[in-house]
Amino acid sequence: MTIYEEHGWKMVPSRNGFGLALRDLGETHPELVVIGADLTESVRANYFAEKYPERFFNAGIAEQNAATIATGLALSGKIAVFSTYGVFAAGRAFDQLRTTICYNKANVKIGGAHGGLSVGPDGATHQALEEIALIRVLPNMVLIVPADSEETYKATVAAIEQIDGPVYIRFGRSPVPTITNKDTPFEVGKALTIKDGSDLTIAACGSCVAESFLAAEILDKKGISARILDIHTIKPIDKTAIELAARETGAILTVEEHQVYAGFGSAVAEVVVQTCPVPMHFIGINDRFGESGSPRELTKFFKLDYENIALQAIKLLERKF
């Protein structure tokens, strides 16, 4: 039995939440259309396509075209969703995201699938480790990185029902621990406190939230009280929760399945340095490309696992005092 199973966490790909939400929203939102890029089943857009084939369009392996088609549909009054791997959605179609979607404030939702190391054996070319940095600099764009399938479902619903404009949702391929449930609160722009604590804060997004919670359990056994923040919305980021964490715990460790440069940790640091400067440390990918391997192997290889998070938290505390 794995440590995740010991906690009663089901292992479910976060992409499932995206697909299920689209399928359910299709029934109540006849104006919803979905555009694929020849990866329909892989990003779970097939859930929608099978139920509403007249509202699904496959643009083929042409991500820039998919983004442009989505914009045209959105400017014609539709709610347009297009989804493909994050390396293509954020990287290959960046010009279309910037000039076509964001500049026009088009009501387009982008599903950035297979984010981070979750694509595993496909290797460096398909492991999206830069899209947080790329997407969060775009004006008019909302960026959400959910922790699990349940949160991905809620993020997709919120993006379509609550936000009139561009939204990018980053989610993964491989199964991850489902640490939230249907009743767990979710609000765009508001961080979720997974565990309270007073000695330091571990702020995380995506699959790193579960690893951070497990790290906090190790720290508890050592008499260290760690607050765990699930900062699922990176733009707009929850400045209030971050400032409060800095003031009340005095140190912040950030964890992300992404390059440390200009990513999630940088977004948190931008708030900290302007409100309540405290010692910080950033865990992420350190200025290199990925490797081929299973997602779990890669998590440990790149030191994103809960044991290293706990170790780095202890080292950070040495700087606090």
Backbone conformation region of residue 304, classed left if phi is above 0, alpha if psi is from -120 to 50, else beta: alpha
Relative to beta strand 167-170, strand 200-204 is unpaired
> Quick one: which of 48, 47, 127 has its CA closest to 88?
127
Lookup result for tokens 């696992």: 305
Total length of the chain: 321
Each residue of 63-84: b (16+ CB within 10 Å) or e? bbbbbbbbbebbbeebbbbbbb
Q: How far apart are CA 160 and CA 168, in angstroms?
A: 11
DSSP 3-state assignment of 260?
A: coil
- DSSP-derived secondary structure letter, 179: -
Q: Known catalytic residue: 63?
A: yes
Q: Which of 27, 31, 41, 63 is catalytic?
A: 63
Nearest to 86 by CA among 42, 139, 127: 127
320, 279 contact by CB (below 8 A): yes
Which residues are known catalytic residues? 63
